Amino acid sequence: MADGVEYTLTGVDELMGKLVSISDDMKRKGGRAALRKAANVIANRAKANAQRLDDPETGRSIADNIAVRWNGREFKRNGNLAFRIGVLHGAVLKKHPDKAKNAPTPHWRLLEFGTENMRAQPFMRPAAENSAAEASNTFVEEYGKAIDRAIARAAKKGSRA
**pLDDT reported for residue 104:** 79
Query: 3-state class of 120 per DSSP?
Result: coil
Q: 132, exposed or middle or buried, with CB in 10 Å at 0-12, 13-18, 19+?
A: middle
pLDDT < 50 stretches in the chain: none
Helix 132-157 / helix 24-53 crossing angle, nearest 10 deg? 150
Alpha helices in the chain (DSSP H): 13-19, 24-53, 72-78, 108-113, 124-130, 132-157
**pLDDT reported for residue 16:** 67
Taking alpha carbons only, the member of 44, 43, 45, 53 closest to residue 120 is 53
Q: What is the pTM of this model?
A: 0.77
- Percent of the chain residues topping a pLDDT of 90: 37
**pLDDT reported for residue 160:** 57
